[in-house]
Structure 1
């Protein structure tokens, strides 16, 4: 999912991809690991930005790495402007319409995969089902033969 921020009431600050198209965890992994789940799973962008509550969510030791990530995140968040009367917009990145469908999710599973063209030879043959299954495993090198067990 990709998110365009409007008023920030429908987007989770720590979990959703709303800041530069990424999650806070992607931008500042060490800092994000210091936020307990009870805050990370509930804090909206509106709550976090309007009263700077996101800073109070961070618990733990302030190491130099944490401070560097904190300052970087502060600079990025200072650029964000909420639009009070505009709802947040969540779009599915894997379809042209931006709408989630089961088909688009299924197609996403196969992005970058190599199709096996002669599948009909395997599944449309007159062999018993267990032979179909064994042949399918063999073609995809998924049989646990002696050479694979080493």
Structure 2
């Protein structure tokens, strides 16, 4: 799921994909590890940005890599503008409608997979089940 932020009261700062389709962990993985799990699961974008609580959340950052990621996030957040009159919009990126469906998830899961064309002839034949299974194995290079 991705998110277009509005008032950002229903979007989790550390967990949701609200930074141009990315999560904070995608941009700053070392810094993410410093933040307490209980905070990660409840901090909203509105709280983190309006009250600058994300600075307090990442207080344990001490290595050079963590500090580099901290300042990179700082630069990114300077350009973020919340829209208090609009609600957050969570959408499924794998479907043009933006709504999640099991079908779209299934199609995405198997996109690029090899299709076996003569499956109907294999499974709908009069042959015994063990023969059908053997033909399936041969067709998929499993023997």
**Does 1:113 pair with 2:113?**
yes
Q: In the alignment, which residue of structure 2 is the partner of 1:147?
A: none
Q: 1:23 to 1:80 in 2, by over 3 A?
A: same
TM-score, L = length of structure 2: 0.90
Contact kept? 1:3, 1:16, Cα under 8 Å: yes
Q: Provide structure 2 residue ranges, at least 5 long, that are not aligned to the other structure.
A: none
* 2:39 equivalent to 1:39: yes
| Structure 1 residue runs without a partner (length 5+) | 144-150
The residue that corresponds to 2:77 in the other structure is 77
Task: Name the structure 2 match of 1:2.
Answer: 2
The offset of 1:134, in angstroms, is: 4.0
Residue in structure 1 matched with residue 90 of structure 2 by the alignment: 90
What stretches of structure 1 move > 6 A for 4+ residues in a row? none
Aligned residues: 143
- Change in 2 beyond 3 A, CA 1:49/1:142: farther
For the residue of structure 2 that corresponds to 1:90, the secondary structure is: strand
* 1:50-80 CA distance string (max 9 Å, x none): 1111122225351111111000000001111
